[in-house]
Amino acid sequence: MTWTQFAVAVGGGFVAGGINTLAGNGSAITLTILTEVLGLSPNVANGTNRIGVFTQSAAASRAFWKYGMLDLHRDGRYIALITMGAIFGVWTATQVSNAQFRSVFSWLMVLMLIVILANPKRWLRPTEMHRRPPMWMAVPLFLALGFYGGFIQMGMGVFFLAVMVLGARYSLMDANAIKAFVIALYTIIVIAIFHTRGLIDWRVGVVMAIGQTAGGWLTATYASQWPRANVWAHRLLVIMVLLAVAKLFGLIG
């Protein structure tokens, strides 16, 4: 790895760590760096990217917990369901082709753009714990969410926020706090599975993780204390999904 590649990896990781903590889809940046700058194959990049995803999520979780935004007792059943789904998702990710990997993400982003832009006020309301979804709805919903995160990870933050805000009635920032913790939790399992399949480049992954960890921790620390964090998190979410869809249709390189 050259010094230029090192700087791009750490700098891009820092930006991605911040984006993933406040909104989602920061892995679009890290996966691009891993494949286009560092030369990894898409499937190896998918596995290698999980190292930084774990470290940034763990660092962000610590910051959210420190400032009282993470309640593990309240959110335990959702965390368990998502983790179980992730185990099945990562197994699937090791079985499919690179073309299938890209196709699934692309079309799901189109769907997510429609969801985000329809009635945006829903994304800015406070947490409403008295309006949790019934278990018959929550079980398949959160298992599917975990499956997607284990399968691809790219865009997981976007889909997680949609389920937690629109389905479970959390505020956007409370949902971000849970997102950071649950992604850190199941990514430990995901890393172990990818490693046994030989789909992780640890040297490259650790370098990327330096920037991702710093970005995740700093963003969570400041967002936890910022009254307008919900508003800006929603704006960033819209921007990231718009960029993903624009790339899908070849409007940007």
Q: What is the pLDDT of residue 150?
A: 76
Q: How far is CA 209 from the centre of its chain?
A: 14
What gap in Å lies between CA 189 and CA 84, rounded to an integer? Answer: 10
Helix, strand, coil percent values for the chain (each to nearest 5) = 80, 0, 20
Q: Are 101 and 164 in contact (CB under 8 A)?
A: no
Judged by DSSP in three states, 97 sits in: coil
pLDDT at 104: 63
- Domain locations along the chain: 3-248
Tell me what pLDDT residue 213 has.
96
pTM score, whole prediction:
0.80
118: DSSP letter: S
pLDDT of the residue at 212: 95
- Distances in Å between the Cα of 169 and the Cα atoms of 28, 158, 162 are 27, 15, 10
Burial of 128 (0-12, 13-18, 19+ CB in 10 A): exposed
Q: Are 101 and 43 in contact, with CB atoms under 8 Å apart?
A: yes
Q: How far is CA 38 from CA 33, 143, 201, 204, in A?
A: 6, 33, 11, 8
What is the secondary structure of 156-188 as a DSSP string?
HHHHHHHIIIIIS---HHHHHHHHHHHHHHHHH
pLDDT score of 153: 63
Whole-number pLDDT of residue 159: 81
Per-residue pLDDT of the chain (253 residues; tens, 9 = 90+): 788 899 999 999 999 898 888 877 788 789 889 998 999 998 899 889 999 999 999 999 999 998 888 877 777 888 888 888 988 887 787 776 655 556 666 677 777 777 777 777 777 777 776 667 778 888 988 898 888 877 776 667 778 888 888 888 888 888 888 889 988 988 888 899 889 989 999 999 999 999 999 999 998 998 888 777 777 777 787 887 787 777 766 676 5
Distant-in-sequence, close-in-space partners of 97: CB < 8 Å, separation ≥ 6:
none
**pLDDT value of residue 96:** 67
CA distances from 109 to 50, 112, 113, 155, 249 (A): 20, 5, 6, 8, 11
Alpha carbon distance 176, 22 (integer Å): 7
